[in-house]
Amino acid sequence: MKLKTLIIYQKTTIFALLVILMACSQRKSMEVDDKTVEGQILLTMDQWAEALTSGDIEKTMTFYSENFAGTEAKNKEGMSELLNEAKSYGMLLLLKIDLRTADLKVEGDTAEIVIYNEDGELEMDFALAKEGNDWRIIGVPSEICSYEDYTEPYGNDCVNMGGYHRCWDIFIPEDLTNKAPLVLDFHGWTENASHQRSISGFEALAQSEGFIVAWPHGLCSSWNAGPGCCAPASDNEIDDMGFVKKMIEQLVDIYNIDESRIYLTGLSNGCAMAQRIANEESDLITAVACMSLHLLTEIDADYTAVPVMTIMGTNDDLYLANEEMPGAVENFERWKQMNNCQGAYEVTWSSGKSVTWTYKDCDNQTEVALVNIDDGGHKLYQSEQSNINTTQLAWDFMKKFKK
């Protein structure tokens, strides 16, 4: 279970906090120096985990009331009810978190702690603030982000939208002589452009294949990919569509870009964003190949067929459909319908039990593909949770197509 994928689709504060409390379940005991700031923060998180795994709801509620700041701590009845329900379903026993491997960043009276599971996969991050001599858990960083942080430029280049700077990082290969394709690589929820750049592998591929790649920054580490995904961008109806259009316009004006080869990729929330852009700006986008999420918006009335590949790990919680959203196969079939593909899909690639299904007879000479990565996780890059070079698969698909 990945807590990020749970929190994306649950919009109430109480459930979000339930996800937070679950992140510390099945703690591994640790010793900390409570005389240091870092030690005090780790002690707070360790005590929270101890309360949870004790199964004592009263003890857990006492800690919750004393250590969560803000109005969330007032709804103790609702939290207590959820805790009891979680206990009855065994939810508090699902995760194993080792705080000894957590990354902790302290800046004055605020801090952020990033917690990993026993496989080294990021599960959740928390924001804390100092009150007197104590540290209080105040939520998830993306929930407390301030848009005022974006009034000044950052990254490599920006456009101004409504008084805020919307920015990106960019890589341009050496010795480009001809017009080059452009790839936009969207980061996942709670992440950032720098992190996406470090894990996706598109920078090295851009150098060897001769294309330009840019990594847009989502406001408060989120993209408005549709209703419920992902906060705070979706809740605040951030105009990410307008940002991407202006970004592409500026990049085309400045660099020697082949406008017939504008491609989108990304991870999770970034993948859903890439698919939304292809759906709503199909005249602009040449092809999409992205990892670990689906199209979450209605079909645009002006949509015309665009080649789309989604790459999903079979161990990803989002591979199968649930009450909140479709699964990988349902999304695959939806794009088939959107592109008016005929006939059955073909198996166009395989490696062990990993396989690509492709519809080829589609409008506008497009294709729709689903790559099933056997035993793959949510962070579906070869450097992370895939034994397959999914970056190469994505590029090999996209580069076949021109407008």
Please tell me the distance from the alpha carbon of residue 352 to that of residue 50, in angstroms, as a whole number: 42
Is 276 inside any structural domain? Answer: yes
Average pLDDT, the chain: 82
Residues 16-67: tens digit of each pLDDT: 344 444 444 444 555 656 678 777 777 777 776 666 666 566 666 666 666 6
Same-domain pairing of 10 and 78:
yes
Kindly tell me if the per-residue pLDDT of 15 is higher than 50.
Answer: no
The DSSP letter of residue 177 is -
φ, ψ (nearest 5 deg) of residue 85: -65, -45
Same-domain pairing of 138 and 221:
no
Q: Give 391's strand partners.
A: none
Same-domain pairing of 121 and 237:
no
What per-residue confidence (pLDDT) applies to 130? 74
Same-domain pairing of 21 and 167:
no
What is the torsional sign of CA 3, 8, 9, 15? positive
Is 403 inside any structural domain? Answer: no
Kindly tell me if the per-residue pLDDT of 82 is higher than 70.
Answer: no
Please tell me the distance from the alpha carbon of residue 355 to that of residue 373, in angstroms, as a whole number: 7
Kindly tell me if the per-residue pLDDT of 12 is higher than 60.
Answer: no
What per-residue confidence (pLDDT) applies to 16? 39
Beta strand 287-291 with 257-266 is parallel
CATH number where 53 lies: 3.10.450
The residue with greater pLDDT, 261 or 53, is: 261
Same-domain pairing of 84 and 198:
no
What per-residue confidence (pLDDT) applies to 48? 67
Same-domain pairing of 217 and 364:
yes
Is 184 inside any structural domain? Answer: yes
* Degrees to nearest 5, angle at CA 206 with 354 and 153: 115
Residues 157-193: tens digit of each pLDDT: 999 998 899 999 999 999 898 999 999 999 998 889 9
Among 123, 143, 163, identify where a domain stops. Answer: 143
Same-domain pairing of 191 and 87:
no
Q: Which two tokens stand for residue 314?
A: 């079979």
Place of tokens 């035993």: 375
